[in-house]
Amino acid sequence: AAGVIQSPRHLIKEKRETATLKCYPIPRHDTVYWYQQGPGQDPQFLISFYEKMQSDKGSIPDRFSAQQFSDYHSELNMSSLELGDSALYFCASSLSPAGIYGYTFGSGTRLTVV
Amino acid sequence: DQQVKQNSPSLSVQEGRISILNCDYTNSMFDYFLWYKKYPAEGPTFLISISSIKDKNEDGRFTVFLNKSAKHLSLHIVPSQPGDSAVYFCAASVGSSNTGKLIFGQGTTLQVKP
């Protein structure tokens, strides 16, 4: 079965650079979520999209932006990178509302800022 | 403010015995509770869930118990197997929200010894 695809799997950037993370949800899923997981921490909700419109926003820095495109893939853009942005970034998708079924996560992108 | 809490960072059990992972929450609006399992370098994988109208849900070796009055849920794994060794996240969502975003606990690392 198709899963949530994230690219790249690993990314190394220098401080103040820009990074773009991509997410391809499961076909026919209408909601995409982005989460950030720092070392030893729980996944923190960043932002979500429902039918290509932003539906909810969490603790996402102003330096970050995201969008969902007509083919439902989503991109998380991160500018002016800081050392503290080093983390695992997960994308997940679901049929709205996720409810009892939760959602399906991708394998994540590990971002390292040096 | 940690709305979902897993107070035990780690748990070690012998193969064949029962593993009990605990989770507490503070938000009485949560409608759904889910458990995710995570291996290193992979995204969280949905394991089992329970609606707030139930107090127990069972799926094979996995059973989740919900005590709404105590705002507490637990995951029982019987019998535990070495392949169950992973990080387990408890998560919760408000079903009536427009996105059903999940709020995660800090995770419990389970080690099942052969």
Question: What average pLDDT score do residues B66-76 get?
Answer: 97
**Cβ separation of A101 and B95 shorter than 8 Å?**
no
pLDDT reading at A19 higher than 60: yes
pLDDT-based confidence at residue A28 (cuts at 50, 70, 90) = confident
Residues across chain A: 114
pLDDT reading at A20 higher than 70: yes
pLDDT-based confidence at residue B96 (cuts at 50, 70, 90) = low
Of B31, B19, B10, B47, the closest CA to residue B103 belongs to B31
More confident position, B109 or A2? B109
d(CA B63, CA B18): 11
CB-based contact (8 Å) between A45 and chain B? yes
Most confident stretch, A16-25, A54-63, B39-48: A16-25
Q: Could you say which of A43, A98, A105 has the minimum Cβ distance to residue B100?
A: A98
B22 phi and psi angles, rounded to 5 deg = -110, 155
Question: What's the CA angle centered on B104, arms B101 and B108, to 5 degrees?
Answer: 155
Secondary structure letter of residue A41 according to DSSP: S
Identify the pLDDT of residue A1.
62
Identify the pLDDT of residue B2.
83
b/e A26-59 (16+ beta carbons within 10 angstroms → b): beebbbbbbbbbeeeebbbbbbbbbeeeebbebe
CB-based contact (8 Å) between B11 and chain A? no
Residue A54 near residue A32, CB atoms below 8 Å? no
Min Cα distance A61 → chain B (Å) is: 18
pLDDT reading at B95 higher than 90: no
pLDDT reading at B61 higher than 90: yes
3-state helix, strand and coil shares in percent for chain B, rounded to the nearest 5? 5, 55, 45
Parallel, antiparallel, or unpaired: how do β-strands B10-14 and B108-113 relate?
parallel
pLDDT-based confidence at residue A81 (cuts at 50, 70, 90) = very high
pLDDT reading at A40 higher than 80: yes
Q: Could you say which of A44, A48, A104 has the minimum Cβ distance to residue B46?
A: A104
Please, which residues 53-82 of chain A have a Cβ atom closer than 8 Å to chain B?
55-56, 58
